[in-house]
Amino acid sequence: MSKIIITANESDQRLDRFLRKYLKTTSLTEIYKMIRKKDILVNGKKAAESYRLKTDDEVEIKILKQQESFSSIVPAGRDFKITFEDKNLLVADKPPELILHPDKTHKEDTLIDQVLYYLYEEGSFDPEIETTFKPAAVNRLDLNTGGLVIFAKNYPALQELSKMMRNRDIKKYYQCLVKGFFAGEKTYKAYLDKDTEKNIVNVSEDKKEDSKEIHTKAKALKTNGEYTLLEIELITGRSHQIRAHLSSMNYPIIGDKKYGQKEANDYFRKKYGLMHQFLYAYRIYFEDAPENLVYLKGKSIETKLPSIYSPIIKELFNG
């Protein structure tokens, strides 16, 4: 028998979704069966699968198979920098080559591992107390893209920040170096579809089956006629959007091995030691915010570009 008192980090979740996270090795079918048979009660009574949990609700699980711990802390390094932190969120500055979440080839010491371990060490997150919540990233960056990643430190903040991201109340700005001359400020729209087998995306002006609309703003910061340093505002946040969209318009990002130009990449690798794409998520702006996070409204969070980019900018654009 197990009794769980719902906290703010679990409230407002459907009962079945909460149980799916808590009973990690139990199938959803088995969970529904346990609810029907009253092996799972809420405040001593049978509850519907769709019941939304409230703070201080007591969930009683009468039959509980041995479960692995929901939360486990893996000791990890700290390759990220903290750009901003308060009780609700942490904004991490992720270096290129540090993956956000584990995948088939990167299973340990990910950014999420490092952030969780940092929060555990400084006392903001205790897996022994939490039942289903872990601090989570609100936005994502590719492995080879560095920059700002927002982490929600509690469940209400995760809900609000995710909603703000969907409503585009959080503006995301990048700097990138492209081959080609670009002047002024322009807005581009197109359609993107993904080839999952090759892990690449294709951009076209015409809508195709399963394609999604993309929206990108580009502004020239510096140019020498051959290369341009751009500021990109990402309106829609599709996979590989900036890299593929710019490449489709003949503005390949320097250092991009997938969508870039090999000759230019080789030149910058040999001359400057640039081993990854020159693309960095350097600024986040909170255009609007709900009541619980209203203090973020109008706030801008920025980080400096990594030092490896400095000699490139200085030499190409005379500082």
- Helix (H) / strand (E) element for 3: namely strand 2-5
Catalytic residues: 142
Report residues of the chain scoring pLDDT below 50.
Answer: 65-70
In 259-314, beta strands by DSSP E: 279-286, 300-302
Q: What Å distances lie between residue 33 and 27, 52, 88, 101, 116, CA to CA? A: 10, 18, 36, 33, 34
In 265-319, beta strands by DSSP E: 279-286, 300-302
Report the distance separating Cα 8 and Cα 292, nearest Å: 13
User: What CATH number is given for 81-166 in this structure?
Assistant: 3.30.2350.10
Q: In 3D, which of 238, 231, 248 has the Cα closest to residue 285?
A: 231
Contact criterion met (CB below 8 Å) for 186 and 245: no
Amino acid identity of residue 158, one-letter, is: L
Q: How far is CA 158 from the centre of its chain?
A: 12
pLDDT of residue 70: 47
Domain with CATH 3.30.2350.10 in the chain: 81-166, 170-317
pLDDT of residue 107: 76
pLDDT of residue 63: 62
Superfamily of domain 2-61: RNA-binding S4 domain (3.10.290.10)
Question: What does the DSSP 8-state code read for residue 297?
Answer: T
Report the distance separating Cα 285 and Cα 155, nearest Å: 21
pLDDT of residue 265: 98
Q: b vs e for 221-260, b when ≥16 Cβ sit within 10 Å of the residue's Cβ? A: eebeeebbbbbbbbbebbebbbbbbbbbbebbbbbbebbb
Domain with CATH 3.10.290.10 in the chain: 2-61
62: phi then psi, degrees, rounded to nearest 5? -75, -35
Reading the block at residue 193, the tokens are 């579809």
Contact criterion met (CB below 8 Å) for 34 and 47: no
34: phi then psi, degrees, rounded to nearest 5? -65, -40
Under CATH, what is the fold of the domain 170-317? Pseudouridine synthase (3.30.2350)
Q: What is the model's pTM?
A: 0.81
Report the distance separating Cα 144 and Cα 146, nearest Å: 7
